Amino acid sequence: MRKNYSSYNPATVFLLFTLTAASCTSGHYPDALEAEEALGSFQLDSAFRIELFASEPLVMDPVELVFERPGRAYVVEMEDYPFKPAPGEEKGRIRLVEDTDGDGRADTSFVFADRLSEVTSVLPWKGGLLVTTAPYILFLKDTTGDGRADSCEVLFSGFFENNSEAQITNLRFGVDNWIYASNHGQAGEVRFQRKPDAPAVPVGGADFRFRLDRNLFEPETGPAQFGQALNDWNHRFITQNTIHIQQTVIPWRYLHRHAYLPSDRAATDISDHGLPMFQQTPAPYWRAERTRRRQREYEERGLDRKEYAEDHFTGASGGTIYAGDAFPEEFYGNVFTGDVSGNLVHRDILSLPDDSPVYRASRAESERDREFLSSSDPWFRPVGFATGPDGFLYVIDMYRQHIETPLSIPEDLKADMDFMNGSDRGRIYRIVPKNGHGPASGTPAGSSPPDRPFDAMETETLVNLLKHPNRWWRIGAQQQLVERQDVSAVPALTDLFFRHDDPRTRLHALYTLEGLGALRLELVIRAMEDPHGGVREHGLILAERFPESLPQVIGCAGDASARVVLQACLSLGEFPAGQTIPVLADVLERHAGDPWFRLAVLSSEAGASPDMLDALARRGFFSETTPGRAAFLEDFSYVAAARAQPGEATDLLETIQAFSREEWMHAVLQGMIRGIGRRENRGAAVAEIKDRLEALKTGASPGLARLIDQLLTPAGN
């Protein structure tokens, strides 16, 4: 049900109605609004106002905004969307837009690079730009000072390139000095051109991350589509069309230490409010008609399915964490996500319980029946966001009549749809609190550090910026310090790490020291003892490089924060098994009910070893039947059966049979059925345990006997 808000200006509503009614007489789809008119279409949280920062012709088809310094930003323009351009006809551009008079609105722009194919994302790096333009990640640089890129280096190649909605994008510099990118799980064999002899890395099912300072690259847990956010503690949150916010709980590198886990999926939907949203626009004609057809088909086939044309997430995009200093404090760390089909901006409040490693994303109380921002203009397409140097939230509006890929729309419904309508338009808005801050009021914004690029700042200034309340300044200063490799900063950074009272600053200082090659055992141990769980978590990650830190890692396995304990579990897998198995067994006893802890334990060679099973048996783990313990045993049995070490399956059956509990044997057999099903030599694997299974069948319950028969049958699952 549509909502009417008293905050609408009646004259504006009348104007919009008149324009829409007139346009609809000539077709199914309304015409565009001019930029100033579009401002009147917004319904926004009453504590804020929305301002125009840039619009056509200064920007067109914007999909990403990255500030170089206050008032000056790179804008990625994707004019060739949604059709892949022919060679030589590429239309992608990167512009520099600038507010030269300080009035809060861009007044000039020029093209930094053009003729790029489906360019989607950029990140400043060493005086140039990293650029995603499938199948490549490029490094573009202006070496002559004329404002245009004249140097182009292919860094990575091999990414998927056949669908612009599923290509490499979302470059983000993490506090851990890795650069993260969304790959939407698309298959590809990625090569690093600076290391031509290095083997290609397969990225199917994964996202991607790399470090140019260390020449490292690898898959990362995902997959994200268009939207990737890293919070202060480098926890990743990703966006997909219908699932507007997921958390990547366990990094890829841990889930692939061996090849036998029953699942390596480690991203989960954390929304507590599902798919419903509150849009102000009706469904476009094509979507309403397609939905009607699909629903009729479901009903004719007797399927219990419901197809939604509106008011449900279908085009979630650009999830971004607000980490500025101009909004009220309660907005810090919130996630803002656009839905380009619903013409709105959704806000999630993140919370992390002490007893769970997984966040919860919730609506604000004031937004139980409305969105943070919504528009009555169906051309409003909020594809992404940025926290600016001024602390405000910038909204990137691609502004198109149609935003969906033609591949998803029936041919007859495309007859009166011009997918390029609006390719000469685009807007970038700024959301500002109504508390006197911001350029429009003439009062200072939330941030006022030096008005010059990071590469023009002194090292001392950069170190001091690690204290800044706006993350844009902190992460930019850290990146510049790592790029610069000025080891004269080490004493000041060390002092900052040991003495500063803000845990975010301590973490930036720690990783800047790591990036400068100045990481020491003393720093890592101090991090593991930090008052804040986020710092302790990263202390554990860095402790994996120091074998002598094992006592402190073991100590963190009893931490009050479940997130820290999970990381301790993962990190312990990097140390010798003989010293870690008792600790992992202890963690499992306390957390077997949580699937993430079960996965973390099994991800390591130690946690999935026969010695682990023996340790659990000696501790009485199998004296009490619980769903979580049964689930662990089933997954453990899967690993053992898939791994196929001689005698391992026999020993497993013997160990569990000794406990005389049918529930345990059920779990073992179910796990073994799935694990052996992965193997090509299934017959040989079953032959090894055939005698024991047949003996076990004698006197077994009907349910257990069926599982044994299923395992013994060559055509079994």
Tens-digit pLDDT profile for residues 404-449: 888 889 999 999 999 999 999 999 999 999 985 544 433 334 445 6
| pLDDT for the residue 14 | 36
- Predicted local distance difference test score (pLDDT) of residue 437: 52
- CA dist 390 and 569 (Å) reads 40
Phi first, then psi: give them for residue 248, nearest 5 degrees: -90, 110
And the tokens for 480? 């510049």
| Dist. CA 56–CA 38, nearest whole Å | 13
- pLDDT tens string 594-623: 999 999 999 999 999 999 999 999 999 998
Mean pLDDT is highest, among 85-89, 512-516, 691-695, for 512-516
Contacts of 656 (CB under 8 A, 6+ apart): 622, 633, 664, 665, 668
- For the chain, what percent of residues have pLDDT higher than 90? 81
**Tell me, what's the pLDDT at 436?**
57
Token pair, residue 316, equals: 């979630």
pLDDT tens for 653-675 read 888 888 878 899 999 999 999 99
Closest by Cα among 142, 107, 110, 108 to 128: 142
Q: For 342-381, what is each residue's pLDDT tens digit?
A: 999 999 999 999 899 999 999 999 999 999 999 999 999 9
Predicted pLDDT of residue 448? 58
Answer yes or no: are the C-beta atoms of 65 and 75 closer than 8 Å: yes
What are the pLDDT digits (tens) for 220-251?
999 999 999 999 999 999 999 999 999 999 99
CA distance 223 to 206: 5
Question: To which residue do tokens 């069948």 refer?
Answer: 697
Measuring CA to CA, which residue among 538, 549, 593 is closest to residue 574?
549
Token pair in block for residue 534:
């986020």
Amino acid at residue number 404: E
With tokens 């779990």, the residue in question is 667
Closest C-alpha to 47, from 416, 364, 319: 364
CA dist 378 and 327 (Å) reads: 28
Cβ-contact 321, 231 below 8 angstroms = yes
For 261-317, the pLDDT digits (tens) are 999 899 999 999 999 999 999 999 999 999 999 999 999 999 999 888 899 999 999
Interval 54-78: pLDDT, tens: 999 999 999 999 999 999 999 999 9
pLDDT of 287 reads: 93
| Residue keyed to tokens 């011009």 | 418
Confidence of residue 680 (pLDDT cuts 50, 70, 90): confident
SS3 at position 324: coil
Question: Mean pLDDT, to the nearest integer, of 376-391?
Answer: 97
The C-alpha atoms of residue 173 and residue 180 are separated, in whole angstroms, by: 6
Instruction: With H, G, I as helix, E, B as strand and everything else as coil, classify residue 423.
Output: coil
Instruction: Reply yes or no on whether the pLDDT at 628 is more than 80.
Output: yes
As given in the structure block, the two tokens for residue 110 are: 């020029």
- Average pLDDT over all residues of the chain: 91
CATH among 2.40.70.10, 3.40.50.720, 2.40.128.110, 2.120.10.30 for 10-441: 2.120.10.30
Q: Which residue has the tokens 């030589």?
A: 88
User: Cis (ω within 30 of 0) for the bond into 57?
Assistant: yes
pLDDT the model gives residue 679: 78
Query: Between these two residues, 652 and 715, which has the higher pLDDT value?
Result: 652
Q: Mind spelling out the 3-state secondary structure of 509-537? A: HHHHHHHCCCCCHHHHHHHHCCCCHHHHH
Measuring CA to CA, which residue among 263, 258, 170, 159 is closest to residue 202? Answer: 159
614-653 CB burial, b ≥16 within 10 A, e <16: ebbbeeebbeeeeeebbbbbbbbbbbbbbbbeeebbeebb
Q: Count CB atoms within 10 A of the CB of residue 84.
A: 15
Note the pLDDT of residue 420.
Answer: 94
- How remote is the C-alpha of 275 from its chain's centroid? 18
| 182, burial (CB in 10 Å: exposed 0-12, middle 13-18, buried 19+) | buried
Q: Which band of pLDDT confidence, cut at 50, 70 and 90, is reported for residue 698?
A: confident
**SS (HEC) of 627-669:** HHHHHHHHHHHHHHHHHCCCCHHHHHHHHHHCCCCHHHHHHHH
pLDDT at residue 696, as a whole number: 87
Q: Is the pLDDT of residue 23 over 60?
A: no
Distance CA 47, CA 203 (A): 43
What DSSP designation does 541 have? H
Tens of pLDDT, residues 540-593:
999 999 999 999 999 999 999 999 999 999 999 999 999 999 999 999 999 999
Which two tokens mark 254?
């841990």
Query: 716 pLDDT exceeds 60?
Result: no
138-165 pLDDT, tens digit each = 999 999 999 999 999 999 999 999 888 8
